[in-house]
Amino acid sequence: MTLPSHAQIVVIGGGIIGCSTAYHLAKDHKADVVLLEMGQLTSGSTWHAAGLVGQLRSSASITRILKYSVDLYKRLDEETGLATGWKMTGCLRLATNQDRWTEFRRLATTAGSFGMEMQLLSPQEVKAMFPLMRVDDLVGASWLPTDGQASPSDITQSLARGARMHGAKLIENVRVTGFEMNGDRIVKVKTDQGDIACEKVVNCAGQWARQVGEMAGINVPLQPVKHQYIITEKIDGLSSNAPTIRDPDRRTYFKEEVGGLVMGGYEPNPQSWMTGDVPNDWQFRLFDDDFDHFEQHMLAAIERVPALETVGVKQMINGPESFTPDGNFILGVAPECSNMFVGAGFNAFGIASGGGAGWVLAQWAIDGEAPLDLWTVDIRRFSNLHRNRDWVRDRTLEAYGKHYTVGFPHEEYLSGRPAIVSPLYERLKQHRAMFGSKLGWERPNWFAPEGMPAEDVYSMGRQNWFNAVGEEHRHVRDKVGIFDQSSFAKFELTGRDAATALDAICANDVSKPSGRLTYTQLLNTRGGIECDLTVARLSDDRFYIVTGTGFRTHDFAWIRDHIGKDLDVKLTDVTEDFGTLSLMGPKARDVLAEVTNADVSNNTFPFGHVREIEIAGTTVRALRITYVGELGWELHVPIAATGEAFDALMLAGKEFGIRPVGYRALESLRLEKGYRAWGSDITPNDSPFEAGLGWAVKLRKDTQFVGRQASEAIHAASLKKRLVTFTVVDKDVVLLGRETILRNGEPVGYLTSGGYGYTVDSPIGLGYVRNADDLSDAFLTEGKYELIVANERYAAEVHLEPLYDPENARVKEL
């Protein structure tokens, strides 16, 4: 096929993701699409994928993507005339210990919350479904009947035919060599056979996506890892409809294929391939068989299916798969290039994800914004740290090794640490801090009392830090605590039109006088919450924006991309310029008054204001704001002076009982106050009105802002869901989020976050109650509520107001 001179959208890569994206762009959007493949379709990793298709994930949106894939694979052959090899065999996941069984019980609850069927089976029921399996060591198994398997090459060819049927041009044996750029936009795709002018590019180049991205100056942090599996000869007694098996405690998986078994696994000592560029000729190549490395899987598999000891091995597949540092795939528009979209790094889930990932990626490319809450896979979750290929390799290998380990709550990665530390790191270690990591930053999660080891001991129940965090929590409520929140992302927006630019982006009214703070959301065109942040007006033409650590790349790019093109503004990331000390608690003003000559009384320095004050000889930006429900300030200190400011506060606060406090206590404190967390309680799927934040949307003001039209429609209509607070009568229940909410015995939603409130002495969860007809206060409060936790029901109470109100020194009666 002759290379066209122009296309609306160029898709790079002819694996399952690229073909699915081209199919959906052509079919759903009638786009003028050209797909370029440097070899043949399915080359790279698609052709040698094992083909297991699972659907359940911890994110509702990602689960929806995987469910869409299954629905597509079921019907695609009828549309295109090419079979996909889809078989809905169901999937058994095996549990051999109580921690795994608890994990499965929680997953069963999550499945119910997301509208999926998942059953928990006894060992005897497992044996009946897969007679060749040894089950004497099982506690039980989970069963997802709608999971299955498919032929990766067949699905890809079927999608390719469907794309062509709807007008897409798929061209093989064309290699992309670079891009012609105009600023941060691609205007031409350069190939070894000529150039194609285009409006947008979708990078689905698989293990080559990293180097394709680099041609346009973008970073795609993935690492090829060697992944092996075998295909056996026929096994007597193996049904052609045998379920797929995942045996995570033995790190192995199985599926039936032509009367034999495909068996592979995820070892704790994975082998990376190269940190450099992947050779272009590695399209249909494999590594040499490595039975020495594979032996660990073979021995574990024989213990599970004894017939494997004597059956012949027909073939070993040892090929590279693209994995990522957090085990989630990569979608979305690159922060460095405004018209390159990426779909890559599928962590051996490319076949399961392919249909749905192509669907949302096509929509994203057309609209310029994600159609769902896809934060867990958004490329903008990464930062400059992820440009370090050695760091990415080490973290990715750790993530690969955890693929089948028990998913303990609050578990931290260990590799590549410490990467970024605040000036207080060594000081906090002296206070026996136990650190966690967020986007590379070391942050104190909790502090170990004397006599207690400063280490995390993971558990599916209460963890070892539970009581220590309770003491930190109560200390903030009674006295004063200091939090190191230096990892906060911080931006400055300056220029003559800075106020105009922000007014057009922010849902809340930021056009306040200098010295004022505004808590605001930034909305997408659907009225969903894309960012949740604080804007401090330092002067008429200077704003200081503070957002969460993990949202640094995302929020900066969202603000930058939505600033009017002709406005006189400059957006600058100043994260590393300032340390942040949050001084919180009823004694916070007493401590602050000791270290500054500024008047910090409530009359002079009220809530929602920002002042520059001097601490330890340094000018500090003091923001009167709180995320814990107590009197407090965020003190933004020039980074070099952060240690001295901390020392001065600790010395002055000694008589008031000051102590360092960690992020675990922060989480508990914010839940009692009902403060929302972006990414869990508020997401691009949720509007401020549904989240109880409608007061922060300036509909009374005649100002156009992103999301206004959708917000007006949502505000005018009856709400279909509302975020409320729940407590559980049984104080031993551990809430994590995604637990099903029952009202009068019927499911009405699920928790978005969960934890424990030490002041109210109760488990707490936030979650949306859904109802198509009535979500009045009366409807919400008159129901009888239960929460399903690890597949068991527990009586719960609903609350429409915060559980803790410091101004009235009151704890809500539970």
**592-647 per-position pLDDT tens digit:** 999 999 999 999 999 999 999 999 999 999 999 999 999 999 999 999 999 999 99
> What does each C-alpha distance from 735 to 409, 490, 788 come to in angstroms?
10, 31, 10
Average pLDDT over residues 536-555: 98
Compute the CA torsion angle 235, 237, 242, 247 (nearest 10 deg). Answer: -70
Burial label for 535, CB within 10 Å (0-12, 13-18, 19+), is buried
**What string of DSSP letters covers 539-574?**
ETTEEEEEE-GGGHHHHHHHHHHTS-TT---EEEE-
| Contact between 176 and 372 (Cβ < 8 Å) | no
| Contact between 643 and 626 (Cβ < 8 Å) | no
Range list of H helices, 736-787: 777-782
Of the candidates 396, 408, 398, the one whose C-alpha atom is nearest the C-alpha of residue 268 is: 398
Confidence of residue 811 (pLDDT cuts 50, 70, 90): very low
pLDDT at 810 (0 to 100): 42
Distance CA 589, CA 479 (A): 11
Least confident range of 47-56, 226-235, 525-534: 47-56
pLDDT at 46 (0 to 100): 61
Angle at 374 between CA 737 and CA 99, to 5 degrees: 35
Is residue 60 included in any domain, yes or no? yes
Structural domain span for residue 71: 6-84+150-222+326-381
* SS3 sequence of 632-663: EEEEEEEHHHHHHHHHHHHHHCHHHCCEECCH
pLDDT at 51 (0 to 100): 65
Confidence of residue 809 (pLDDT cuts 50, 70, 90): very low
Residue 574, pLDDT > 90, answer yes
**Cα–chain-centroid distance for residue 620?**
33
Distance CA 444, CA 437 (A): 9
pLDDT at 733 (0 to 100): 97
The enclosing domain of 187 has a CATH number of 3.50.50.60
The total number of structural domains in the chain stands at 1
114 or 713: which carries more pLDDT confidence? 713
Least confident range of 47-56, 391-400, 645-654: 47-56
**470-524 per-position pLDDT tens digit:** 999 999 999 999 999 999 999 999 999 999 999 999 999 999 999 999 999 999 9
Q: What single-letter DSSP state applies at residue 603?
A: T
418-456 burial code (b ≥16 CB/10 A, e <16): eebbbbbbebbeeebbbbbbbbbbbbbbbbbeeeeebeb
**What string of DSSP letters covers 649-710?**
HHHHTGGGT-EE--HHHHHHHHHHHT---BTTTB-TT--TTTTT-GGGS-TTS----TTHHH
pLDDT at 812 (0 to 100): 41
**128-144 per-position pLDDT tens digit:** 999 999 999 999 999 99
pLDDT at 814 (0 to 100): 38
Residue 212: partners with Cβ closer than 8 Å, 6 or more residues away: 12, 13, 176, 203, 205, 220
Return the beta strands (E) in 361-456 as ranges.
433-438, 441-447
pLDDT at 166 (0 to 100): 97
304-324 burial code (b ≥16 CB/10 A, e <16): bbeebeebeeeebbbbbbbbb
Confidence of residue 115 (pLDDT cuts 50, 70, 90): confident
For residue 180, the cross-strand partners are 188
pLDDT at 113 (0 to 100): 87
Residue 175, pLDDT > 90, answer yes
Is residue 310 included in any domain, yes or no? no
pLDDT at 37 (0 to 100): 95
Burial label for 295, CB within 10 Å (0-12, 13-18, 19+), is exposed
For residue 342, the cross-strand partners are 203, 332
| Contact between 332 and 379 (Cβ < 8 Å) | yes
Six-digit token string for 331: 């979608």
Residue 50, pLDDT > 80, answer no
Burial label for 5, CB within 10 Å (0-12, 13-18, 19+), is exposed
pLDDT at 48 (0 to 100): 59
| Contact between 166 and 23 (Cβ < 8 Å) | yes
Distance CA 738, CA 452 (A): 32
Of the candidates 461, 414, 464, 457, the one whose C-alpha atom is nearest the C-alpha of residue 99 is: 461
Is residue 366 included in any domain, yes or no? yes
pLDDT at 123 (0 to 100): 97
pLDDT at 117 (0 to 100): 87
% of the chain exceeding 90 in pLDDT: 86
φ/ψ region of 347 (left if φ > 0, alpha if ψ in -120 to 50, else beta) reads left
Q: What single-letter DSSP state applies at residue 618?
A: E
Q: What is the mean pLDDT of the chain?
A: 94
| Contact between 40 and 281 (Cβ < 8 Å) | no
Residue 401: partners with Cβ closer than 8 Å, 6 or more residues away: 266, 267, 268, 269, 270
Q: Considering only CA atoms, give the Rg of the chain.
A: 27
Least confident range of 281-285, 478-482, 697-701: 281-285
753's enclosing H/E stretch is strand 746-757
| Contact between 733 and 763 (Cβ < 8 Å) | yes
**306-326 per-position pLDDT tens digit:** 999 999 999 998 988 999 999
Of the candidates 245, 249, 242, the one whose C-alpha atom is nearest the C-alpha of residue 101 is: 249
Average pLDDT over residues 567-579: 98
| Contact between 47 and 207 (Cβ < 8 Å) | no
- Beta pairing class for 313-323 and 489-494: unpaired
pLDDT at 813 (0 to 100): 38
Is residue 396 included in any domain, yes or no? no
